[in-house]
Each structure stands twice: as structure tokens, then as C-alpha cells.
Structure 1
Amino acid sequence: MENEKPVDVIIIGAGPIGINCALEAKKNNLSYLIIEKGPLVNSLYNYPSNMQFFSTSEKLELNGIPFISKDAKPSKQEALEYYRRIASSNDLHIKLFEKVIAVDKIKNFKVTTDRGHYKAKNIIVATGFYDIPNKMEVTGEELSKVTHYYNDPHLYAFQKVAVVGASNSAVDAALEIYRKGGAVSMIIRDEGIGDRVKYWVKPDIENRIKEGSIKAYYNSEIKEISEDKIVIKQAGKDISIPNDFVVALTGYLPNFTFLKAMGIELVGEKQIPSYNENSMETNVKGIFLAGVICGGEETHKWFIENSRVHAPQIINTIAGRQKKTTF
């Protein structure tokens, strides 16, 4: 299915920021299309089932549309409902479960997906960073007992589980699995629990470690994984630990290969994409970035809360150019 006339903008990614870009485009009478490889707000859908946001609901609102939640900090299910209602009530033009394969510049942009081709005058990349796990690169990481995503603790009840990492996601997983009857060991590269861990959760995990309910191996990393154990390296020594599952929550990365294929420059060790902070336009004219993908490997820099402003910045730039070409 190929659109013969190019739309003003194609938005790659139907997360909250991609949705916000569509709302701004609609408000400015720009033609648009969102293309998403999974379900609506795909990354959020794949968050743990019991996840609760760090932020209050008003900081997650889009375009002034109220987000009413039962508690001050909304749950994953409340957020899914909120963004689904926005997409439905605004009749947003979205292609779901359609993966973008390539973006090429001819006269306009040609977007190739696994289902067809589309034309656009401008591109907004709002794909986030939840797709590519930071691999440990150790023997046995490919075993089925190893996952880089955590969903529900019931799977791990009465099992010996190694949780790798000390971020919010790792701490939440360790606590939930422990409380569902799992025997939890945390493999932590640093000397303690991360400073970014939610302030109301940090004392909980530290107390569970202190009392021995959860075993923490600090200054450690996994060296090898086998069917019934893991080997970790700590202070120059190898330690063997009986194990049934490994939940490696070691972080995620944007799809840098996709960005580079479009001609977007990546700067420095953290591979920060090149873009104008006022317009969010990259070094490739007509391609814009929105949301957490702007941070490169600095995945803690941008959130829904502080990247909502990207949508009006981008759309105002596109709309302004459209007016200039009209007159």
C-alpha cells in the first residue's frame, strides 16, 4: 500500500511522544501518519505488568488532555488506557504492527516497511531505546533461562533467580520475585544500589539485603551461565551459584544502525545523535528526533515528562516552512 501523494510528516514510533507529535500535526492541519512496529505505545506495553510510574499523572499528560489516575503515581494499565483513549478519541492515523525497514531521500522521503512504501515531506523518529538490550557478552547468555526483559514475578516462584543490575527495573524485579517466593541473588557491578532508584523503594531493597532475604554480590559480574548454575567474578575470584533463571536488566540502547542508515551523525562515546536543540532537526534536513532517542546511550536523560516539548518544537518548524513555501 503506497501513498501516492506525500504526507507532510511520517512519525516512526507510536509511543507517547510519537502520539504527541501526531496531535500537534493535526492541530496545525498537517497531514501525517504514525508507523509502529508493535502495538500502540509498544515500549510501555512491554514494561513489567505491575509497574508504577515514578512521575505523577499530570507529568505524563499530552496536549493538555487530563490524565486521571487512582493514585498520584499511575500504573502501567492506567497509562495504557490513557494513551489508547487519546488515539481513539482523536482518530489518529496509525499503522500498527508494521516495521519500518528503510528511509530514503529522493525528492521527498520514501519510507519502506515490511508491508509497503510511503512518501513523506518530513520524518520524525520517535522510536525510544527499549528494543536492543545491553548484552553481557558471556557464555550461556543465549540459553532460554536468560531474559533481558522482566514482566511478571509468578514465573519465578520457588526458583533460584539471579537479577543482574541495580537500577529501578532490577530492584523492582528483585523485590517482586522475592515476595512471590523466589530465591533472589542480585549481581551488581558497583558498590551498592544505584542512586537513581526510587527514593521510597531504595530503603526496602537495602533492608532486604541487610537482613539476608535477598543476597547481593557487589563489585561483581557474571562470567558464565549454564543450565543449573552461574559463575560470577568478584574481587578476582570465581564464585559458583546454583541458578534456575537469569533476569539481566542491564539496560537498553537505541537502534543506532537505523539512525546511521538514514545519514544521522552520532557524536562521541555516548553516540549522541546530531540535532538542533531548538527545532530537533538532525543533520539530515527534514528528519527530526523526538523523545528519549535524542540521548543516545544516555538513556536516563530524556523521559516522557521532559521530552513532550519536542512535539511542538518539531511541528512548529515544519508548519513554518510549509507557510513559507505557500507564499
Structure 2
Amino acid sequence: MKKTDLDIIIIGAGPIGIACALECKKHNWNYAVIEKGALTNSLFNYPLNMTFFSTSEKLEIDDIPFISNNPKPTRNEALEYYRRVATSNQLNIKLYEEVATINKVENHFEVITSKSHYKAKKVIIATGFYDIPNLLNVPGEDLPKVFHYYKEAHPFTLQNIAVVGASNSSVDAALEIYRKGGNVTMIVRGESIGERVKYWVRPDIINRIEEGSIKAYFNSEIIKIEKHQITVKTPDGEIILPNDYVVALTGYQPNFKFLNKAGIEFSKDERHIPFYDDKTMESNIKGLYLAGVICGGMETHKWFIENSRIHAKMIAEHIKLKQKL
């Protein structure tokens, strides 16, 4: 396997990885972005009809205008925007190539992927947190009727659907499936619909629950999944509900195993926040940087595109001023 020498390797071709690539191009650094899936893979896997909470200008990177039909863009508009940014700037992005190992060797990094072997002076990890779902850890979760990602409502028409969770993704799925003819029951561990739910959507789901169009069990959780039914633990005791599909949108987490294997250290509490300098984004390993939502560990609501896009410029500035290539 031929070894390729680079100044910088960026792992992850999401919005923040693209922003980092733009900074590398500005500074004439020899770089490559390596992505195990499609371009902006996480966004690609969002529900087809998703609308962002952020307005389009807050999703812009490198001051490149993002024009959308409405103030809050859709998934498809975001895919088009980031694709145009990547292609029009001729960024060096290698898709469907998974990073296996990152090893620090003296003053450089050896990065081995599913397709190649790279040597780089610096590495930026911007892999997000959308690849690993938080599991229910209940019997039957491995049945094919259980989904941890939601794409569209059509397959669930005329079916009994349990939607687990009360976040934006859960609420969007419940409303869309209900409006496409599914019989929706929400199973919510908390006592109410989440406060972070989009302000124009939250009243809608509350009204549908109150009128009985969507059934909701609060302070409840699924404890068993079977082929045609689920068992739910509620404040009033266990109940059995007829069920065709379970859509468990209980959140996601970064690939801690991958980060740990690279040598990243974490906070000792349940937040599991990776170590990095908040002024430079450099991790505990000199020359290895973290960028984007991955910096939040289990606090996946801490970082978004709009408040982490600055990480690219922070990293570039540190490399430029403190650690010249």
C-alpha cells in the first residue's frame, strides 16, 4: 500500500470538515479529507423532510452565502449548499474510505484507512456523533421492526408505530407518521415533550396528544419488544400494546472507541467530554485537533454547525502561528 505524505488529514466530510478543508486551501497546505460515507453523511441520513432549527446564514461556512427558500432551510437545501461549496472549491475529499487507525510517530501521524496509508504532520477529527445510536438495551431490540434512524413516513402508513423519545427528531417523526396514516404512540421517559423541540412544532405535538390523535405515555419506557407487540412500563404499571414497528429516536453518541484508540483523553464523569484546548482545539495529543459537535462528548446538544464552524479558523490560526508546517 503506497504511503501518501500530507500536511493535514481531516477526518469527516461534514460541514465542519469542509470548513477545515477551506482553511487548508487558503493556506496552501497539502491536505485530504477522509470520509467513511457520503459527503455530509450525517445530513444525508437526516429525515427527507427535515427543516433545520437554525436559519441559513447561521449554517454558512467561510462566509459563502447560503440562500434558501425560507429562513430555515431544509435537508435538501443544506445538502445542495455543502455539495456546491465542496465541488466549486475543488476540495480534496475522499469518500467511502474509513479510517482504521491514527498513530502518532515522533513528529508525524500515520493514518491507515480502508484504501490507503497516509503520513501527515497534523490531524483534525471532525466526525460528529450521528453514527452510533443510544440503544434501549431491551429484549427484542435487534428485531428488524426496530429502527434507530427515521427517513420518511410512507412505510408506516396503516401500521401501529411506537415512537420512542420526545426530542426534535422524535416529534417530527411522530407528527409526520400520524399525518401519513400511521397509528402513533409515543413512549417518553420524561414527564413532557422536550423543551428543546422547535418552537413552531412543540404546540402542534402537544395539541395532537391532548386531542387524542397521538397517544403518549410519559414517565414510561419500553421493557420488551416482540414481533407483534411491545411491553411498556408506565406509572400505572406494565401494559402491552399492539405494535408493528418501533422508531427509537433516543439520541446518538460520538465514536468513543475510535477516539480512545487514537489516544484522546476524556472527562471522568458521565459527560465523557474529550480533552481539548478551547482556544486552539488541540487535543491532549500535540498536533491532533478536534472540531465540531464531537467536542461535546455525550452533551450532544452543546455544539451545532452554527457555533462550531469557528473551530476551523481557530485550528488554522494555531497551526499557522504556533506550529508552522
TM-score by length of 2: 0.98
Aligned-pair distance for 1:3? 3.8
Instruction: Give the match for residue 305 of structure 1.
Output: 306
1:118 counterpart residue number: 118
Distance 1:318 1:2, change over 3 A: farther
The runs of 5 or more residues in structure 1 that have no matched partner are none
Q: Deviations over 1:5-62 (max 9, x none)?
A: x311100000000000000111112111000000100000000000011111000001
- Are 1:10 and 1:122, in contact at CA under 8 Å, matched by a contact in 2? yes
Paired with 2:230 and 2:100, the residues of 1 have a C-alpha distance of 37
| Aligned match of 2:245 | 245
Other-structure match for 2:74: 75
Distance 2:235 2:70 in 1: 44
Q: Secondary structure at the match of 1:265?
A: coil
Write out aligned runs for 1:55-204 (5 A): 55-107=54-106, 108-204=108-204
2:2 and 2:286 map into 1 onto residues whose CA distance is: 23
Q: Name the counterpart of 1:321.
A: 322
Query: What is the aligned-residue identity percentage?
Result: 63
1:273-292 Cα offsets, whole Å, 9 max, x none, are 00000000000111100000
Q: How many residues align?
A: 323
Deviations 1:240-292 (CA, angstroms, capped at 9, x unpaired): 00000000000000000111111110102210000000000000111100000
Which residue is equivalent to 1:227?
Answer: 227
Q: Secondary structure at the match of 1:112?
A: strand
Rounded to whole Å, the distance in 1 between the matches of 2:232 and 2:20 is 45
Matched, 1:296 2:297: yes
Counterpart in the other structure of 1:258: 258
Q: How far off is 1:236 after superposition?
A: 6.0
Pairing 1:10–2:9 present: yes
Which letter does structure 1 place at the counterpart of 2:30? S
Contact 1:30-1:319 within 8 A present in 2 as well: no
Structure 2 match to 1:282: 283
Q: Distance in 1 between matches of 2:142 and 2:225?
A: 9
Q: Name the aligned partner's letter for residue 51 of structure 1.
A: M
Q: Which amino acid aligns with 1:162?
A: A
Counterpart of 1:66, as a letter, is P
1:212 aligns with 2:216: no
Determine helix, strand or coil for the equivalent of 2:178: helix
Query: 1-side partners of 2:177 and 2:272: how far apart?
Result: 34
Q: In structure 2, what is the Cα distance between the partners aligned to 1:120 and 1:135?
A: 36
Partner of 2:47: 48
Q: How far, CA to CA, are the matches of 1:148 and 1:92 in structure 2?
A: 32
**Cα distance in 1, alignment partners of residues 2 and 67 from structure 2:** 39
CA distance in 2, matches of 1:234, 1:321: 57
Deviates more, 1:229-238 or 1:80-89: 229-238
Contact preservation (8 Å) 1:294, 1:302: yes
- Structure 2: distance between partners of 1:120 and 1:47: 32
Q: Partner residue of 1:36?
A: 35
Q: Supply the AA of the counterpart residue of 1:72.
A: P
After superposition, what is the alpha-carbon deviation per residue over 1:60-117, rounded to whole angstroms, capped at 9, x for unaligned? 0010100011111111001101000111110000110000011011131011111121
